[in-house]
Amino acid sequence: MELFDSTKQVLSTLFTNPSSLMYSGTDLLLKPVFLRGFSGSLHLVLLLVLFVSWVWKKLKVGVSHSEGSKERFKNRRVLWNKLILFCCLGVSVFNLVLCLLSYFYWYRNCWSDQNLVTLLDLVLRTLGWGAICVYLQTQYFNSGEQKFPFLVRVWLGFYMFISCYCLVIDFVLYKKHETLPIQYLVSDIVSVITGLFFCYVGFSGKTEGGDTLLRKPLLNGVDNGEGESIKSKGADSVTPFTNASPFSLLTFSWMGSLIAFGNKKTLDLEDVPQLDSGDSVVGTFPNLQNKLEANGGVGSGLTTLKLTTAILFSVWKEFLLTAFLTLIYTLATYVGPYLIDTFVQYLNGKREFDNEGYVLVSIFFVAKLVECLCQRHLFFRLQQVGIRIRAVLVAMVYNKGLTLSCQAKQGLSSGEIINFMTVDAERVGDFSWYIHDSWMVILQVVLAFLILYKNLGLASIATLLVTIIVMLVNFPLGRLQKKYQDKLMKSKDNRMKSTSEILRNMRILKLQGWEMKFLSKIIELRESETGWLKKYVYTLVIITFVFSGAPTFVSVASFGACMLLGIPLESGKILSALATFRVLQQPIYNLPDTISMIIQTKVSLDRIASFLRLDDLQPDVVERQPRGSSDTAVEVVDGNFSWDNASSDPTLKDINLKVSHGMRVAVCGTVGSGKSSLLSCILGEVPKISGTLKLCGTKAYVAQSPWIQSGKIEDNILFGKEMDRERYDRVLEACSLKKDLEILSFGDQTVIGERGINLSGGQKQRIQIARALYQDADIYLFDDPFSAVDAHTGSHLFKDEFMEVLLGMLRSKTVIYVTHQVEFLPAADQILVMKDGKITQAGKYGDILNSGTDFMELVGAHKEALSTLDSIEGGPGSEKIRISEENGESSTNGVVNKEENKVSENGRSDEVTEHKGQLVEEEEREKGRVGFSVYWKYITTAYGGAPVPFILLAQIAYQILQIGSNYWMAWATPVSKDTKPPVEGSTLILVYVALAIGSSFFTLIRTTLLVTAGYKAATLLFNKMHLCIFRAPMSFFDANPSGRILNRASTDQSAVDLNIPYQVGNFAFSMIQLLGIIVVMSQVAWQVILVFIPVIAMCLWYQQYYIPSARELSRLVGVCKAPVIQHFAETISGSTTIRSFDQEARFQGTNMKLMDGYSRPKFHVAAAMEWLCFRLDMLSTITFAFSLIFLISIPEGVIDPAIAGLAVTYGLNLNMLQAWVIWTLCNMENKIISVERMLQYTSIPSEPPLVIEENRPDRCWPSHGEVVIRDLQVRYAPQMPLVLQGLTCTFTGGMKTGIVGRTGSGKTTLIQTLFRIVEPAAGQITIDGINISAIGLHDLRSRLSIIPQDPTMFDGTVRSNLDPLEEYTDEKIWEALDKCQLGDEVRKKEGKLDSKVTENGENWSMGQRQLVCLGRVLLKKSKVLVLDEATASVDTATDNLIQQTLRQHFTDCTVITIAHRITSILDSDMVMLLSQGLIEEYDSPTKLLEDKSSSFAQLVAEYSARSNSSFED
């Protein structure tokens, strides 16, 4: 009121009696009131001019943006600009501080006209310089102009003049011995100094210089060189943290340049600097490894304790530093509560010494400053430790995955091993946050007890006891939580294991029409998981209820004890106790979280340690001999080997083998006879029971199932070797890859999808063979690599590779190859015939042909298949048909076209990149701010958002009751012993207890509603995302590696399950709390709002400035995680190949690089968060200090000391809460990205409907199986060329048709179109008169049968593999098993139909898996059966058996066969030869063979010529 009266008085003086201000000329010019009025008027004019200028610019149409918006700025100019901005801001802040100090000073003493005018001048100066700051930042620095705008230069001249004039007048008055307020002199000196600087810069035009990329943000601290602009290729530079100066480290200014850059453009991984060597896994992993080895923690000797000790010792410096920071931080937090009583007594008039108020304010301020600095650096260092620990654990798990023995691997699925990496290592890393909490709690309780003892005396013992009781309640709740956590993790493991397997085999599931059945299996596993999740989150509700009520419970007990003991309660002591309880609330509240985290970390460390303890491959299986030291390449003497050490029956028995250098050894035998095991044993993969195995030289291996890495074709072939162009070209030629690469848009730079998904089987095998040949090894091991290669290519590979083109390459090499193709045998120097794990015959082809039955059976079966050719007139042997290159030339590659076409199906035309049009796309990453729609969708997912208003109302009620209870205690207790209390003691406690119970009740409501809504939202998002994934077309799975999808199903789903509801809730709750504090503080002194407004504005500006960089860094964390998982998954599946090429070290290096790529954005996210929080803490500490200065400046008696003390009690929490609000906002923005990523996958385009009700075929459809194709045109994307270019043909019902053609001629595409994996671009396919495009996908696919190229089995039982939909009886299943010759094999097993099938059917041989696929179609008995290279993995005898079974049981069915073995289609009724997506020939095999010029006749002639010439040899 006094201020308003003064204002009125001055204004009335000005307007009613103007002469009172009219002094004689000289006197007026010397009066301070005139000078301040004149200065204020000038600043007001400046403000108006700047405002008009801004409006004019906004209204001006077609403003030409000069080149100033370029990203490149001048180096020295940037420095000047920063300095100018810093000075303008400094002048504005200086005037604000001076204004507030003057206001408080004159408020306490007296007002005068001069004081009021001075105050107005200071306010206008603050606003004027703030406006110049904004003007320069927005208008000038972005304009590219070299000189200051004319307007600013005019202003600087006026400012310099008025500043000098004022300073001169100050000296004149000083000489006259007139009293002058000290603030005038200080203000004028500062004005002159800054005026000189501004004039120098403004008029000398010193703003030009060299190039740089960025400007740094305000308040980034001085430029120390370490924060040099991060070039766009930040990936080449090391983080500025490494060379930062102490001041820069203290204020986190080294992060400023990256945050500034993130404001200019969207950050990419290349913009994020590399980690310091101390934080990089490359630097930290050897350190941990050495510590473990020193402790004997290697192999089976590793225990959880040894692992934990080694981890702690590897980060001991950071551990000690963070412990010290924790100690200082804890001590600083208790300074405030300790001094509140003294402060209240001071306000009440009890002064110990002069200026006590200022001393108290200084102590409060310094304590807050220390607390803020320690907390920020503590949090940053803890996260830094977490990043290191996570990275080294991932490296350990990865390295173990590479050396794991096959037996140990069988007990674990790849999904479980990946979980060690994605979940367990992550959790141990996160534990770094809690590492000091266990001892910090004890320290906090002790400090609290000492403060309470000082204030409450013996009653503090009651406080201590109650605190201990509350903490003890933790243990049963903690145990319960651990139990649920364990169960939750196990059920998550099971779900991830199944999801991983299903994604790998999605093509098979879609072909069979099983995807919805397998989706229901995932939903079932998820239901089991959510059962435990529900228990876990509701336990959390109880814990939160107990611990949010704990401080109130503790305070009731303490004050009750005071009443009983007769200890007088004074408001100062009560406020000190309440502040102490509030500080104590944090450790009590965090205790369950800490205990839960300790338990979870212990579980994770146990899991990792038990994994690291598993058996490695036996190192002594193979005796390695130096290259050239022996004539023998491979020697096995009395070898007994077994995959399962516990089994009494070894896998390989009595193996004796000697292979000299340069020999070619063929291994043959029936399905399951141990051929692949023999090669594995030479590689050292099979545990040795007895005997010796010697190997001399380097080795290269080609597996039966192709293992292709995602990446470029060139990288797959080079496989870590340097490029030798001449050798590379020879290898491509030898493997018939030249033609394929010519057709690909990117040649050998084409990026292959996961597991070679965009290549045909033959292409994958040939790339594998090329990889082996390029290695230039001494010993080559081939495990039936020609099975998936078509007849023409197979012949070329075999003949040319081993005999002509590669004679130079493999002439001196040792080659051991397993093959089912008998015609490849005669070329061998030695043939090994295997049966039941023994070598039953060994020798040259001619020698063993008549010496035993096993080999005779194989050759007999092959001859029987060839007998079909005998009808050819003159016999194929006499006719030397030259296969000219036209066969090669006429070929094209449908599958490669397929890839070319799929390419930009989802391609984004706006991103012109080198790899545009590749099939495997970069992971989609949203850019810019997380849209409000994401939050809205999430909030309204559960019950349409109905719980949200109730949650907010409950929190508001809780906050009101909390403040009410504290207000009641402050008001109802006397300030000192002498004062009479306003209410009785019993009333005091009863009202307090009632308010406390009310607030606890609202906490319970709030948490229960939040948890329920979060749980419901997580379940609905899971179901929706999985339904969309399972209904997505195959092109989606081709373009997205499974690691990417798994990342959403595991990491993002975990965040939605356990984090996001609480993040969103915490933001809302902390906002309500902050508003509560502002209301309490403003009620005591409304003037504090004047400080709050600019501070909150600056906080919001900082938050807006920070969020673009932080958001993109968080997204990069998500995007960089998938490659780590994918590389790991690929490594596990290809570990045998990697080991066989001795490439472990290279793969470990790649993993470390990927891990650092993931840690880089994570490290900078942590630093960016602390950069922001440090600045927010500084601002809120300044606000708190101003509030205190204001309180001590108010004359005594104006304000109730108890209520003022209450404001201080809340103010102590202000900086923590203000930072907490911004932190939760940023954290919520970062975490909500998980929801955004899941929502991306809920909008995947879906396949056509599974069932069209109005268009359902009859139950008996198809009854005849007639397939009519009319003008069929197929392309894989609208903008791509046709793969099938107008096919027209009819597959008559009940007829058998063989389809042949070179790899990639469109055979597989035709089959995919029949099953509608790909939709036709034009034309149609009808089956029994029904257009397949008009009916539902499930109706179509479930009525057709297919035996796919890659035989697939799923984790489960024999029964679930044959009949996943559970449609058939056991009798029918046994019948089918007998028909496919597996009945006896299954009967031998212990569980019969329920015997275990491991992941991918790894415990069954390739041939047996193919027979299981045959069993499936025998059960289904469809009228249309497709065999897609179905007998590629079986020997000729088994092939004949399959053909015989099919002939016998599918006599009246339409059978369409894509074959690589000519013999398997010679007995077909019709043969179709495809070339370049067109039908080249289509007739009966007899007619085609009669026409010697037909392509088919040439193919057959070549095949039989090869076979017969082999036998003649």
CA angle, residues 1375, 1379, 1385, in degrees to nearest 5: 85
* Nearest one of 59, 142, 133, 145 to 94, comparing CA atoms: 133
pLDDT tens profile 1158-1192: 888 889 988 998 898 888 888 878 877 877 877 77
* Nearest one of 122, 141, 171, 138 to 50, comparing CA atoms: 138
Least confident window among 305-319, 676-690, 861-875: 861-875
pTM: 0.67
**What burial letters (b/e) apply to 1089-1104, b meaning 16+ CB within 10 Å?**
ebbbebbbebbeebbe
Least confident window among 470-484, 675-689, 730-744, 1079-1093: 1079-1093
Residue 80: per-residue pLDDT? 59
Name residue 1291's amino acid: F
Whole-angstrom distance, CA of residue 119 vs CA of residue 116: 5
Is the pLDDT at 454 greater than 70? The verdict is yes
* Nearest one of 1245, 1232, 1231, 1226 to 934, comparing CA atoms: 1232
Decide: 530 and 487 in contact? Cβ < 8 Å.
no
Q: Which two tokens stand for residue 1273?
A: 């045109």
Q: Which two tokens stand for residue 893?
A: 């590659």
pLDDT tens profile 551-585: 778 878 888 888 888 777 777 778 778 778 777 77
Using alpha carbons, list the distances in angstroms from residue 65 to 69, 145, 263. 7, 12, 19
DSSP 717: H
The dihedral region occupied by 1330, where left means phi > 0, alpha psi between -120 and 50, and beta the remainder, is: beta
* Nearest one of 750, 1029, 1022, 1002 to 896, comparing CA atoms: 750
Q: Kind and range of the H or E element at 689?
A: strand 688-696
pLDDT tens profile 1113-1163: 887 887 888 788 888 888 888 888 888 888 888 888 889 988 888 888 889
pLDDT tens profile 939-955: 888 888 889 899 999 99
User: Of all residues in the chain, what percent carry a pLDDT higher than 90?
Assistant: 3
Cα torsion at 859, 862, 864, 867 (round to 10°)?
-120
Residue 896: per-residue pLDDT? 33
Is the pLDDT at 924 greater than 70? The verdict is no
- C-alpha 191 chain-centroid distance: 53
Residue 382: per-residue pLDDT? 92
Q: Give the DSSP per-residue string, 68-135.
A: GGSS-EEHHHHHHHHHHHHHHHHHHHHHHHHHHHHHHHHHHS---HHHHHHHHHHHHHHHHHHHHHHH
Decide: 502 and 512 in contact? Cβ < 8 Å.
no
Least confident window among 392-401, 477-486, 885-894, 961-970: 885-894
> In which residue are the tokens 């906090």 written?
444
Confidence label for 82 from pLDDT (cuts 50, 70 and 90): low
Whole-angstrom distance, CA of residue 1061 vs CA of residue 1068: 11
Is the pLDDT higher at 1506 or at 1237? Answer: 1237
Residue 325: per-residue pLDDT? 92
**Strand 1322-1327, strand 1296-1300: pairing:** unpaired
Q: Which two tokens stand for residue 393?
A: 């654990």
* Nearest one of 116, 109, 98, 97 to 3, comparing CA atoms: 116
Positive/negative CA dihedral, 867, 872, 874, 875: negative
Decide: 1186 and 1214 in contact? Cβ < 8 Å.
no
Whether a cis peptide bond, with omega within 30° of 0, leads into 1262 is yes
Positive/negative CA dihedral, 905, 909, 910, 913: positive
pLDDT (average), residues 173-201: 74
Decide: 1304 and 1463 in contact? Cβ < 8 Å.
no
Q: Kind and range of the H or E element at 752?
A: strand 751-752
Residue 773: per-residue pLDDT? 85
Highest mean pLDDT among 321-335, 983-997, 1429-1443: 321-335
pLDDT (average), residues 598-615: 86
All residues at 6 or more sequence positions from 228 whose CB lies less than 8 Å from its CB, including other chains: 240, 257
Using alpha carbons, list the distances in angstroms from residue 1471 to 1008, 1291, 1327, 1341, 1481. 69, 10, 19, 24, 8
Q: Where are the alpha helices (DSSP H) in 914-1059?
A: 932-941, 947-972, 985-1030, 1034-1039, 1042-1047, 1053-1058
Is the pLDDT at 521 greater than 80? The verdict is yes
Q: What is the 3-state secondary structure (H, E, C) of 391-434?
A: HHHHHHHHHHHHHECHHHHHCCCHHHHHHHHHHHHHHHHHHHHH
Whole-angstrom distance, CA of residue 753 vs CA of residue 710: 5
Q: What is the 3-state secondary structure (H, E, C) of 625-649?
A: ECCCCCCEEEEEEEEEECCCCCCCC
Give the burial class of 1468: count Cβ atoms within 10 A of its Cβ; 0-12 exposed, 13-18 middle, 19 or more buried.
buried
Is the pLDDT at 872 greater than 50? The verdict is no
Highest mean pLDDT among 580-584, 934-938, 1394-1398: 934-938
> In which residue are the tokens 């990342």 written?
1047
Confidence label for 19 from pLDDT (cuts 50, 70 and 90): very low
Least confident window among 198-207, 545-554, 568-577: 198-207
Give me the residues paired with residue 1298 across strands.
1457, 1471
Residue 69: per-residue pLDDT? 36
Confidence label for 215 from pLDDT (cuts 50, 70 and 90): very low
Residue 246: per-residue pLDDT? 81
Is the pLDDT at 655 greater than 90? The verdict is no
Name residue 931's amino acid: G
Residue 1010: per-residue pLDDT? 92
**What burial letters (b/e) apply to 224-258, b meaning 16+ CB within 10 Å?**
bebbbbbbeebbeeebbbbebbeebbebbbbbbbb
**End-to-end CA separation in angstroms for the chain:** 118
pLDDT tens profile 997-1035: 888 889 899 999 999 999 899 999 999 999 999 988 888
pLDDT (average), residues 219-228: 37
pLDDT tens profile 256-268: 888 888 888 888 8
Give the burial class of 1086: count Cβ atoms within 10 A of its Cβ; 0-12 exposed, 13-18 middle, 19 or more buried.
exposed
Q: Kind and range of the H or E element at 790?
A: none
pLDDT tens profile 752-774: 766 666 676 777 878 888 888 88
Whole-angstrom distance, CA of residue 846 vs CA of residue 1512: 10
Decide: 656 and 584 in contact? Cβ < 8 Å.
no
All residues at 6 or more sequence positions from 773 whose CB lies less than 8 Å from its CB, including other chains: 700, 731, 734, 735, 801, 806, 809, 810
Least confident window among 240-254, 293-307, 473-487, 620-634: 293-307
pLDDT tens profile 1448-1490: 888 888 888 887 667 667 778 888 888 878 888 888 888 888 8
Give the burial class of 620: count Cβ atoms within 10 A of its Cβ; 0-12 exposed, 13-18 middle, 19 or more buried.
exposed
User: Of all residues in the chain, what percent carry a pLDDT higher than 70?
Assistant: 81
Residue 601: per-residue pLDDT? 87
Is the pLDDT at 199 greater than 50? The verdict is yes
Whole-angstrom distance, CA of residue 764 vs CA of residue 768: 6
Residue 44: per-residue pLDDT? 81
pLDDT (average), residues 1344-1364: 81
